[in-house]
Structure 1
């Protein structure tokens, strides 16, 4: 297999695996803030129990997330040296800001959050919970800013030529607020909130089905359902805004996402389908002129097609981009329907009467994760053949000195280690969930044994 393809597979594997954990940390952080805030307001011990319980899950998730994220920095230097040189000034600024504004905030308050229950006042502990949550949010900002710059570069100039060319920041804030960063940050946050909310919904649906911790689980389920309903609906707005930005800044990517080939012709909106890139056709269920209406508010508005771009500037895996994009959208629409229906039953006083619905929620924890992964794959594969859109091709960005055998060997090792870490994560999560939320909260001195 070619070195470039193996390098791309290795990075895709490591970042996809890592991306299981940060969204959960961000989403659980929001729920912990809500639970602990309700405890301070009501002094209902059940909300304190929920905060303590989900803090243990958060600690496991956070730790695995940190361990799996470190390796990607080394991959930049070993497998993508040309790319690292090219974007070093840009990424250096963003990652330095992450360390200053995110990790410092997070690390300052994390120790208090975990070990400070009986050592600081409840208000100080609540402030620490907010600090850790905001730290995880800020960390996402700077990572997404760096990635968004690859999609829509701004605030820079190019110094040098050929393999020695590199981008230098000329306007830090223009780089930060590049044309796609705000839409993508909001969309990533929302996906993270859904991942955390559906984990809470899943665990407490499981307890309700088993008849365990019924009263506290009903409280947690309702709160997580409110978050999930609001966020799933708001994703319609951020998703539409992101798609509009893609249509303006990366028209080839939008054309690939919808399998639209004809240059400046009205575009249909496919609900599902299959793209044949050889004959340039899509077979599937569609809304005629739907994409034209969403982009230009006119069923006959022209939308730039893939044929408007030279073959070498088109994404090579059009069907894969199309499928990942539509998987994300399909899951998003399903989550909207699921949460709205559950909210309707809640208002009718019948939310916990439907065992089949609780079973769906117990397994629905997988759906936000799949949607998050599919959305990232659609965004990254749709950017191809560029690693920095319009400037640096992926084929020119990888290290020429690294052999395919070396990458394959390290990929196998990563797969083994990451699989073991994932099994450890599942084992630890399962142990905490089966143990339940109450024992350690009733005896705080025992809590440290489980952190």
Structure 2
């Protein structure tokens, strides 16, 4: 049977990966809701209200499942990672308290108005509640990323106690908040979330267009999603580059693992695709010579610190896993840029919605931002090993001392069953809402599922 450490890591990876399906969707969808409802207030066209109402229902479903799946992780900190919880309790306690006060309270406080405030409050108040819910979801991600980023680049602390009683105590709250990686990582995570939400909107809209249902509302949905996705996909290039810079400065072993670079100090290539043989310490594949050197130092001839410069106990053991997940993220990101720019060009040519092949790609492309987000997190977290708090606390030392492997296996199996049921329930309810479609205002949709000439003229104007 695998060790308690491996089993606990698998359990936490499973639960957080499942949970991480939902927050990016709610963050990205929140932005799309703001744009849709803003278009309704600006134009007065009822269709925008109808599609906003439709997506609010889906937002509520995603939000509910996300909250339910996130609670489990907090218990795992105490059951499986007691030493870690004691060590980072002061740091995480401050960040999570800030999330509850500034983010979750804001989001949940206005959620009731968002869901049930139609025709009960003014249009302006409802729009304000939509903005607040969207901002609350973003603020929630901010504090979670700050807490996680502190583990990557810890600052603003002192260590009290020794051994199992050691604890990190905050000495400067704002230095902890603005640790060297928090801003870059937050921007990267948020833009990835915008991609996840906008591609969900485009996927549903593309399905309607292919099926010739709710065609005009679907076109409006698609345009909103495409606007968000195009800007986000291009911006991700910048944030990804910035993130690589902090990794090269503060976590050089992780950067070396991401590109399978072993030479202690040599010019480093950037791989497009490849495979790492950890036993021989060699990486093969299609590469750009000096590409990593250029990205990190601005010169194709600059040396980059490789894995051989670090003792075996100070660098990631699963180098090929880090390499592959990192390159999956990059490959998907480049594909999303090409896909959105192609759609923008065809939209400009007024040929987009007649391209069934492209609409079919967009239906399935909803999976790609999710895969990229998951792969990016795995690359970041596995690449940080063997540290749970970089340079301070090893993962092997962070475990609860009384937990046995059999107990972790039992809870892992139980979580797997429960989460599988939750996923089936989520997909069933999501599919039911999508098949039903938006409830169109009377007299705005005729028997042939086309809008009245009056509304089409308004849209064209």
TM-score range, shorter chain: over 0.9
- Give the 3 Å change call, closer, same or farther, for CA 328–152 of structure 1 in structure 2: same
Equivalent residue number for residue 294 of structure 1: 295
Deviation at 1:237, TM superposition (A): 0.2
RMSD: 1.1
Deviation at 1:344, TM superposition (A): 0.6
Contact conserved, 2:263 with 2:305, CA < 8 A, in 1?
yes
Deviations 1:243-295 (A, max 9, x none): 01100010000000000011110100000100001101111000000000111
Secondary structure (helix, strand or coil) at the match of 2:427 reads helix
Equivalent residue number for residue 320 of structure 2: 319
Say which is worse superposed, 100-109 or 382-391, in terms of deviation: 100-109
CA distance in 1, matches of 2:387, 2:442: 52
Equivalent residue number for residue 23 of structure 2: 22
Deviation at 1:442, TM superposition (A): 8.8
Residue correspondence of structure 1 range 33-432 to structure 2 within 5 A: 33-432=34-433
Deviation at 1:188, TM superposition (A): 0.4
Deviations 1:27-64 (A, max 9, x none): 00000000001101111101101110000000000000
Secondary structure (helix, strand or coil) at the match of 1:335 reads helix
Contact conserved, 2:47 with 2:440, CA < 8 A, in 1?
no
Contact conserved, 1:52 with 1:441, CA < 8 A, in 2?
no
Equivalent residue number for residue 449 of structure 1: none
Secondary structure (helix, strand or coil) at the match of 2:272 reads strand
Contact conserved, 1:207 with 1:217, CA < 8 A, in 2?
yes
CA distance in 2, matches of 1:144, 1:442: 47
- Give the 3 Å change call, closer, same or farther, for CA 57–440 of structure 1 in structure 2: farther
- Give the 3 Å change call, closer, same or farther, for CA 366–440 of structure 1 in structure 2: farther
Runs of 4+ in 1 over 3 A off after TM superposition: 439-443
CA distance in 1, matches of 2:279, 2:394: 23
CA distance in 2, matches of 1:64, 1:216: 27
CA distance in 2, matches of 1:305, 1:136: 38
Deviation at 1:220, TM superposition (A): 1.1
Equivalent residue number for residue 438 of structure 2: 437
Equivalent residue number for residue 458 of structure 2: none
* Structure 1: gaps (5+ residues): 444-451
Deviation at 1:441, TM superposition (A): 8.7
Deviations 1:415-437 (A, max 9, x none): 00000000000000000000010
CA distance in 2, matches of 1:150, 1:295: 22
**Number of aligned residue pairs:** 443
TM-score by length of 1: 0.97
CA distance in 2, matches of 1:207, 1:246: 42
Deviation at 1:349, TM superposition (A): 1.1
Deviations 1:329-386 (A, max 9, x none): 0000000000001101111111112100000000000000000000000000000000
Secondary structure (helix, strand or coil) at the match of 2:79 reads helix
Secondary structure (helix, strand or coil) at the match of 2:141 reads helix
CA distance in 2, matches of 1:42, 1:353: 26
CA distance in 1, matches of 2:399, 2:58: 37
CA distance in 2, matches of 1:153, 1:406: 32
Secondary structure (helix, strand or coil) at the match of 1:56 reads helix
TM-score by length of 2: 0.95
Secondary structure (helix, strand or coil) at the match of 1:390 reads coil
Deviations 1:131-152 (A, max 9, x none): 1000000000000000000000
Equivalent residue number for residue 5 of structure 2: 4
CA distance in 2, matches of 1:353, 1:50: 21
